[in-house]
Chains A and B, each alone.
Chain A
Amino acid sequence: MRVRWLIVALIVVAMAAPWGFYDWTHHRHSGFLISMLSQMGMMVILALSYNMLLGQAGLFSLCHATFFGMGGYATIHFLNAAGDGSLPVPMEVMPLLAGLSGLALAMLFGAMATKQRATAFAMITLGIGELMATAALMFHHFFGGEGGVTTNRMIDNSVFGLSYASGLQVYYLILAWTVIAAALMYFLTLTPLGRMANATRDNFERAQFIGYDPRMVRFLQFALSGFFAGIGGGLYAITYEIVTFDALAAPLSANALLMAYIGGTTVFGGPILGAVLITLLQSGVSLLSNSWLVYVGVMFIAMVIFAPSGLAGLIKAHEPIRRAGRLGALTVPYLRLVIPSLGVLLGFVGLVELMSFLTIGAAQGKKLVLFGGPIDVHAVVPWAVSVASLLLGGVWLRFEAAGFHLVWERLMAGARR
């Protein structure tokens, strides 16, 4: 019941969000906000479809962007065909065609990759991803080489009579498809296929023993996740009207993995959380710092070591305590963690930024500006402050974490009783 209201609230917030920064004096929407929200929608689809593999089937794929990109490239060609009248398909159905293109390619590659599982599967998908990314740079007819392919999304064919000239209309199209795709993916987890995917993930030999073909399950799951990734790619093409090889290259596949994993692969909504969070950070932090990848990498590794179930998993871990009504007892221990955590964060960010401004920043002729004044990266003080803050915060955090652990265990034991 609570979850249902959460979903309704999420959709309402997503629908209202573009009006949040509405410029009433000029009657204009904030372009940055709308493009960020649109990006979020696509990334939610990408992360959710990636989690069909990683979370639900235990398959570590490294070519997920291939199907996203395929959907994108195909949509560009569909839109061009629709533009000159040879493809009478309304705009609203375009993402479906994109999904089908992704599905076709995923069936082709899936037939090869799903022969294996675990590590070998990861390596094969790595090869497939590189194959497609390299091919996209070489062949001009379909992929347009380095320049990519372009289109014009105003094809003048819409079920609702919309022109899709403004970013806002495109955003609502993306939102609608995101909700549809997410709902479909959720219902898939309830089907026998979704259950069998979980079973082959946990113990493929037993699944085999009771008469299911784990390879077939992997194949179906792979193909369907390619379908949804293709939908995301179609929305990408419609939004940007250009698709280059970035849409199917390895960094985007890695991004799908990061979003799904950081959000949490064990809960269906986890990747949504991850996609929203990472897109927010990406739009925010990458403008401020060019060391964005270090932060994401460290965050990712920390998650792998300390919280393998991701952010959503962490939240879910509180459930027994919440049911016992003892959530309030955690407030003080959490507050005590805040200051040492901030110390570690400050020290780490300080060191990374100082180091990166020493080399990369110097090459770009930039100066490190913090607290309203320039900071000399060659001076001793900022380095000493960062190191001290990192070390002190680290030791203090270890101490506090031990205390937190005690409280946590006591509450959990109480909740279990």
Chain B
Amino acid sequence: MLKEETRLGLWRILLILGALSLVEAAVRVGWINPFFLASPLQAVAVLWSQVVGGNALFLTLVTLYEIGCALFISTVVGLLVGFILWRYRLIGASYEMLLAALFSSPIILAYPIFLVTFGRSSAAVIALSSIFGLIPIIMNTKSAFQQVNPILLQVGASMSLTRRQMFRHILLPAVAPTIFSGFRLGLTYILKSVLGLEYVVQVGGVGMWLSDAAFRFEVGEVYAGLVGTVLLSVLFLYMINRAELLVRR
């Protein structure tokens, strides 16, 4: 008897393979013009040739570098600002609303401002993507400290813990899961922002490759780039989810 999770996983794989087989058949039979739609096998073959002989790996590294830089900036600034917003209540209550308003606005459309300021380079992508990651990390850090059970702090005080011990043994374990949720959200937004901006601005890594292939009307490469981008996004989300499970344990 298969485990529930394995059975569900098999169903998902079957669904994906079924959909891809339909597309493959539609292109091969000629229902869809291959000028518009590359068959999945062709897309995978082009992707593989780019990984083995082309510069797909280098472009992936560029994308990962941008994601890493944006995440580093978001985390450092986000944790600090989130802590300050929790520590000083008036400032926290005042700026939380402004941050939420900024978060729900289409800030990605402001990318030309970043292009003018940083030039058409990875720095512009990193700077704007950092803002996407920053806001959820700030909000979650603030709410993590707010949600710490006061009884835990009273227990710490009754055991005469120093400020450092209180932070290390009580505050940190209590806030870690919520902060990690913000970190997960931030990383997801950074991933979307980096890949989207790379495509729109045509700089950097995988997104730029996709844009470049579309510009040259290389249909196989467009779909290969698309498959690569989807795989990268899915892999990232899977790793983030696994890491969150580990932190919550």
Partners in one complex: no
A interface, CB within 8 angstroms of B: none
